[in-house]
Structure 1
Amino acid sequence: MGKKRKAGDGASVEDSGKKVEEMAVERPKRTLLGWKDKTEVVEEKDDESGQVFRNKEKVLVSCSRRITFRYRHLMTDIVSLLPHCKKESKIESNEIKAQSINELVELRNCSSCLFFECRKLKDLYLWLAKSPNGPSVKFLVNTVHTMEEMKLTGNHLKGSRPILSFSSNFDNDPRWKLMKEIITQIFGIPKDHRKVKPFFDHIYTFSIADEHIWFRNYQVVTQGGIEKTTLVEVGPRFCLNPIRIFAGSFGGPTLYENPLYVSPNQIRALEKEKKTGKYLNKIKAKAKRKVHELANPIEGDEFADMWRED
């Protein structure tokens, strides 16, 4: 038979349980950078709302049908540089493009969109849009060089976070400020994304020259200390010529229109006129010569008449 429990044993068990609960401290949260102290979480919270801001930016990347292989390789290079993006199948570029793309962005739970639109198998247009309320910017892409074309020596870690570098003239005009903000939100990779590694080993540079935005990607190489840090280009390269800024997503009221923009169709027409100019001049000269011969007929030759008589 078991022994009877004494009257004071129950209280002692309760006291021991309380002591264990007091001694058990809540385990801190573990992150990729190490153990996170609970006090740090409290400091990061906003005083008014009491919630931590978390960047949940997701970008949908898609293209139009009949896109060329070179522009498709550029799109895949950009997808590899943005681990927080979602790739979508090709979309038919027509008048209802804005409605269909906005629906896709909403279905894929994204807040931004990169859309590559190819026309006439020659011209590439890039849309940077915030969905569903806008704004959006339309660019003409020039001087495209993919990673496979250049074969540069740089090589950074895939999925790492980049440092965004903008030239100082982005702050000189409101239109450049708006483009800078859109580029920052799309190309700035969130810190706590599941596919992102907590390293900064490359830099995205956006510089303005000749009213164009030039993009370069550099790897940060540190050999022998921070003082000997160098930059090695990785790629890709491309140039963005702004066409219009719209208030909505893929349309809406025009906030800005580039007065210096010339469409590629007009450039090709001018080049064609230059090439066919010599031929047209020959035709005009020949027509003038015929008119002159009719106006000034040549009189008969005496020697020719003598030969005919014989």
Structure 2
Amino acid sequence: MGKKRKHIETEVVEPQKKDDSAVERPKRTLFGWKDKDAVKEDEAPQQGQGFFRNKEKVLVTCSRRINYRYRHLMLNVVSLLPHCKKDNKVESKSSKGMALNELVELKSCSSCLFFECRKHKDLYLWMAKSPSGPSVKFLVNAVHTMEELKLTGNHLKGSRPLLTFSSNFDKDAHWKLLKEMLTQIFGTPKDHRKSKPYHDHVFVFSIVDDHIWFRNYQISVPHNESDKIARGGLDKMTLVEVGPRFCLNPIKIFGGSFGGPTLYENPFYISPNLIRSMEKKKKAGKYAKKVKAKTRRKMHELENPLEPDEFADMWKQ
């Protein structure tokens, strides 16, 4: 049996404290090691100038009883925007603006894309900056989803797009406002956690006949090997369409979020309900012409009766 040690002999071993005087390891960059003093010099002007960081987040949702084609279009837009958040369907009522503003605030977003379907036929797109506005209401035409087109283009999911606009966006004030809203909503913020640091596709917005046409193209560059670009490959760069396709017809621009004072109203906009009623009237006019022609024929036969035939009853005997 060993002897028990006295409590006096036991000594508590204190953990060794870290040496604060140890030199920190310098940060590494793509171009090599970066000194600590250089890092401080780079960060100092940014802090003094109030460095801006883009924290744009977009809420994407739709109304109830939406058509399957329009739902697929919404899902295609969600796949193109890594900085968006998808939410449940919202009832399309007069109070939808209040509900959407609350959802945007709960999801900590700054913008909203709301796909509203009416009569299972017409698709309207609300594009709003919350909570102060402005907001735009579009009629969506010429919808073609990625599943329908089956194009050969393919780009990395989550990569940052390049935004290009036609020159006529700078002509009028309302087109300038729409350009700024499209830039903020469809432009993926730099260093976003869900985005990839690549630019391999282009969003094209062009104005034709007072409509905004959207196209998505992949940037294709010829390669000799898996990691090398062919000599002169950048000059041979081509664009391959990916999809989806749609056309936006602006209806109204409001000063607030989903409402407020009207800043712009499209004078050339015609409601699809009015177009359908005009087509029905044309068809109703054709039927009315047929009925009138039939009555005129009967009146003509009554006014001009045929002479009795002498030989009509000869063969009855």
Provide the TM-score with structure 2 as the length reference.
0.82
Equivalent residues of 1:152, 1:233 under 8 A apart: yes
Equivalent residues of 1:140, 1:242 under 8 A apart: yes
Amino acid at match of 1:233: E
Amino acid at match of 2:42: E
Higher helix proportion:
1
Deviation at 1:98, TM superposition (A): 0.6
Deviation at 1:90, TM superposition (A): 0.5
Report percent identity of matched pairs.
Answer: 65
Amino acid at match of 1:40: D
Unaligned runs of 5+ in 2: 1-18, 223-229
Equivalent residues of 1:135, 1:247 under 8 A apart: yes
Equivalent residues of 1:203, 1:217 under 8 A apart: yes
Quote the Cα distance in structure 2 between the aligned partners of 1:35 and 1:243: 55
Equivalent residues of 1:98, 1:250 under 8 A apart: yes
Deviation at 1:278, TM superposition (A): 2.4
Amino acid at match of 1:285: A
Aligned to 1:227: 235
Question: Which digits, 9 at most, give the CA deviation of each residue in 1:90-116, with x for residues without a partner?
Answer: 000001011111111111111100000
Q: How does 1:66-85 map to 2 (within 5 A)?
A: 66-85=65-84
Matched, 1:249 2:285: no
RMSD: 2.6
Matched, 1:280 2:279: no
Matched, 1:183 2:177: no
Go from structure 1 to structure 2 and tell me whether the alpha carbon gap of 1:203 and 1:302 turns closer, same or farther (over 3 Å shift).
Answer: closer
Go from structure 1 to structure 2 and tell me whether the alpha carbon gap of 1:59 and 1:34 turns closer, same or farther (over 3 Å shift).
Answer: farther
Provide the TM-score with structure 1 as the length reference.
0.84
Equivalent residues of 2:26, 2:33 under 8 A apart: no
Aligned to 1:11: none
Q: Secondary structure at the match of 1:79?
A: helix
Amino acid at match of 1:286: K
Quote the Cα distance in structure 1 between the aligned partners of 2:208 and 2:216: 17
Deviation at 1:130, TM superposition (A): 0.4
Deviation at 1:31, TM superposition (A): 8.0
Matched, 1:42 2:41: no
Amino acid at match of 2:239: L
Equivalent residues of 1:33, 1:198 under 8 A apart: no
Matched, 1:212 2:211: yes
Go from structure 1 to structure 2 and tell me whether the alpha carbon gap of 1:226 and 1:43 turns closer, same or farther (over 3 Å shift).
Answer: farther
Question: Which digits, 9 at most, give the CA deviation of each residue in 1:184-232, with x for residues without a partner?
Answer: 1100111021111111111101000010000001111111231221111
Q: Secondary structure at the match of 2:139?
A: strand
Question: Which digits, 9 at most, give the CA deviation of each residue in 1:290-310, with x for residues without a partner?
Answer: 55566x474975859999xx9
Unaligned runs of 5+ in 1: 1-16
Go from structure 1 to structure 2 and tell me whether the alpha carbon gap of 1:171 and 1:301 turns closer, same or farther (over 3 Å shift).
Answer: same
Moved more, 271-280 or 226-235: 271-280
Amino acid at match of 2:209: D
